[in-house]
A = this chain, B = another copy of it.
Amino acid sequence: MAAKGGKSGDLREACVKQALAIIAKDGIDALSLRDVARRLGVSHQAPYKHFPSRDHILAEVVGRAYAGFAAYLEKRSRSDDPYEDLGLLGRCYLDYAQKHPLHYQLMFGTPLPDPAEHPEMMDKAEHAFATLRETIAKLPGRAPAASVDLDALYAWSVVHGLASILQTRATQQLGIRKATIAEATAHTLSRIGAALGRPRN
């Protein structure tokens, strides 16, 4: 008995969607394949026909988050000015994290399924860093590759750090005003530019 209204591919897809819904509502810890099955009206073992283990379905969910993130970054605005281009990338990165907190958290949260056992999960995982690298390589004075890597690491640290921090309750608990939070993205991106030698107007 296939899931309501379709072929087996539909059950697989329905499992992924349901897993995401459960995680969205109650967190990764609450993900239970039996719950998934129950919600889809199939036997508790049916999801295992498509995913050998709980980790596999989680890896699928995470892998899709990476892919969605990569696609989002690809669609960003661009500029011929390298500093502005970098700013637009940073902006896009943080926008994604803000608009899709769950997906962002899925990508960088712990514990994830072991990448060695789920290589396809990582297909698009490197995209953000690679994009940062390329964008930074275009900045003036970036000759050695190691220097590009160092600044790409720096930039990634900043945006990843801010994205992560903004997703926690920490900012509320630290007594940081909402107006300050609202300015944080622009301010932080400005600081990246300053750090990387953007000319002052």
Contacts and interface: CB of A to CB of B under 8 A. Distances in A.
A109 B109 contact: yes
A125 interface: yes
Interface string A153-165: 1101111111011
A99 interface: no
A126 interface: yes
Contacts of A115: 169, 173
Of the candidates A156, A159, A188, the one having the most CB atoms from chain B within 10 angstroms of its own CB is A188
Interface range on chain A: under 10, 10 to 19, 20 to 34, or 35 or more?
A: 35 or more
Contacts of A150: 180, 183-184, 187-188
A149 interface: yes
Interface in A102-126: 105, 108-111, 115, 122, 125-126
A154 B191 contact: yes
Contact of A153 (B151, B162, B179): B162
Given A29-B111, A125-B173, A192-B195, 13 more contacts: A27-B110, A105-B110, A115-B173, A146-B177, A153-B180, A154-B184, A156-B161, A157-B161, A157-B162, A158-B158, A161-B162, A191-B196, A194-B195
